[in-house]
């Protein structure tokens, strides 16, 4: 069997596992899901990713960032830095945060908005956040921070239109 087939199979199994866990977490409720997630993360998490690979993936997803005061996203409890470059009428974002969960949320937004035109960014509706109930899992403060980050992407798109 070719290595790329095995790698694809591994990612497929990881994807199915994550989707299954989201469904289970939704069924058991927020408090129990948090406890279950902690237990599962400690026991089977290392099987999926090493810390070195995880850190490298985060660095790749977020890009290099200049942590100046002017790059801070206002409205987030954690420190969040966001920069961008414009190339061929498309915006490419880089960012970072001082907390792991916020880094993950930021990398998700960067993945969604980076490489898109200003019009595409402004027209993008993040309906999945409500559909999967993400706000319930991350809490009010992080939900507000997520909204502030999303608004910053749109402000940047408006200023470059």
> CA nearest 103: which of 65, 48, 156?
65
CB within 8 Å of 150: residues ≥ 6 apart:
109, 126
Catalytic residue selected from 62, 73, 76, 156: 76
d(CA 148, CA 126): 13
- Is 23 catalytic? The answer is no
Q: Using alpha carbons, list the distances in angstroms from residue 99 to 50, 53, 84, 116, 121.
A: 19, 18, 21, 26, 25
Known catalytic residues are 76
């Amino acid at each position: 069997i070719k290595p790329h087939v095995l790698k694809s199979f591994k990612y497929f199994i990881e994807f199915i596992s994550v989707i299954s866990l989201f469904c289970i977490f939704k069924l058991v409720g927020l408090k129990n899901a948090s406890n279950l997630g902690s237990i599962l993360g400690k026991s089977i998490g290392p099987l999926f990713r090493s810390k070195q690979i995880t850190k490298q993936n985060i660095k790749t997803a977020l890009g290099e960032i200049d942590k100046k005061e002017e790059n801070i996203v206002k409205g987030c409890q954690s420190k969040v830095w966001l920069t961008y470059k414009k190339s061929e009428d498309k915006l490419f974002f880089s960012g970072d945060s001082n907390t792991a969960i916020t880094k993950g949320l930021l990398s998700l937004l960067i993945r969604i908005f980076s490489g898109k035109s200003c019009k595409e960014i402004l027209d993008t509706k993040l309906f999945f956040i409500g559909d999967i109930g993400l706000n319930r899992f991350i809490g009010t403060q992080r939900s507000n921070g997520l909204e502030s980050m999303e608004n910053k992407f749109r402000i940047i798109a408006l200023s470059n239109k």
